[in-house]
Homo-oligomer: A and B are copies of this chain.
Amino acid sequence: MHKISEPTLILNETICKDNIWKMVSRVSQWNGDFRPHFKTHQSAVVGEWFRSVGVERITVSSFAMANYFAANGWKDITVALTSTVLNADVINELSSKINLNIIVEDEESIKLLEKQLSYPVGLFIKVDGGYHRTGVDADDLPRIKKLKEPLKESKNLIFMGFLIHAGNTYYARSQEQLEEIVKPQLEKVLALKTFLKDDFPLLQISWGDTPSCSMYSGFYGIDEFRPGNFVYYDYTQVQIGSCELKDIAVCMAVPVLALHPERNEIVVHGGAVHLSKDRVELSDGSISFGKAVVMNGLTWDVNCEIGEVKSLSQEHGIIKADETVIRELKPGDVIGIIPVHSCLTANLMKELLCTDGNFIDMIK
């Protein structure tokens, strides 16, 4: 069995495969395609677990990831990050080999890309249903009409439809709040579909985010779903209500460096370069950088909580815990931290250790 001596991201394959299977089942109820986002795991091995349950189309958030997964046999990839003319070369390289979809949100980029592209590429217009990170307002019909106009004549930009990321579902803290966030955005994109169905009868709506795909049940008229985080879930998703602690497939094993029972603190080797500096607000208003739990070998026990990570520096984490819990630990013990944001944590670690002792590679 692998001996932990430094921060190591542990993956429970059973939980992960269960998460994948549950989401496959959910999406199939809504008559939409499943195009999972691979930005969370960024791993060819985990990708194969999706393939084994029938997934053939995927989403990524950068061209670097698109290259990686294309090299690992994926033939149908949507890069769900706005493209500009800067990406023309990599789009040409990828679209010579695979079915590639890109997203755009401005006329100028459409015109410039059209001039430089050598192969057909699927194009989604990024729409904003209310999250207001980016995208064209989903109810700004004049702007949308103007955007799709040059696409009618386009040779290599094949208009596919609209892509939305309702990222404000991350603000929800109950089923009711989630539904209030999802419903108006769903209505907006469905109205868009109705509005353009005469010009583009095959127009698709692509929808994606883990909270809505985990919690909302009333989807209809959506053509594909792109959740990603659900593959591992994390402590933030627990706060939202997308999952329970037991559904989280990853945990950072960290060595205990020092104990300070007089101020209720445990110091671990496990910092911002391992977990990321992402934080979550708990229901009592306090901030956490992760939940510390007991580990036994390479498995962790969410029912044996140690405390909350209250701060992180580059290599150190500070956990607040009861003195009685601290008195049971000693420097050199290994405990677990459930990450706040598994996407950023996995991205930092670049490899996972499975509970069976095998390492899993990720994109480098």
Contact status of A315 and B260, CB under 8 A, knowing A89-B5, A344-B273, A344-B277: no
A361 contacts B by Cβ under 8 Å: no
B81 touches A257 (CB 8 A): yes
A90 touches B5 (CB 8 A): yes
24 residue pairs of the A-B complex, CB under 8 angstroms, read A4-B86, A5-B86, A5-B89, A6-B63, A61-B315, A62-B269, A81-B316, A82-B257, A86-B255, A108-B332, A109-B331, A109-B332, A133-B318, A134-B257, A134-B267, A135-B258, A167-B313, A272-B278, A272-B344, A273-B344, A277-B344, A347-B348, A348-B348, A364-B364
* Contact-residue bracket for chain A: 35 or more
A234 contacts B by Cβ under 8 Å: no
Contact status of A315 and B62, CB under 8 A, knowing A134-B260, A257-B84: yes
A273 to chain B: which residues have CB within 8 Å?
A: 344, 347
C-alpha spacing A86/B7, complex, angstroms: 12
| Residues 273-285 of chain A, each 1 if its beta carbon lies under 8 Å from chain B, else 0 | 1001111000000
A81 nearest in chain B by CB position? B315
Question: Nearest-CB distance from A121 to chain B (Å)?
Answer: 16
A344 to chain B: which residues have CB within 8 Å?
A: 272-273, 277, 314
A364 nearest in chain B by CB position? B364
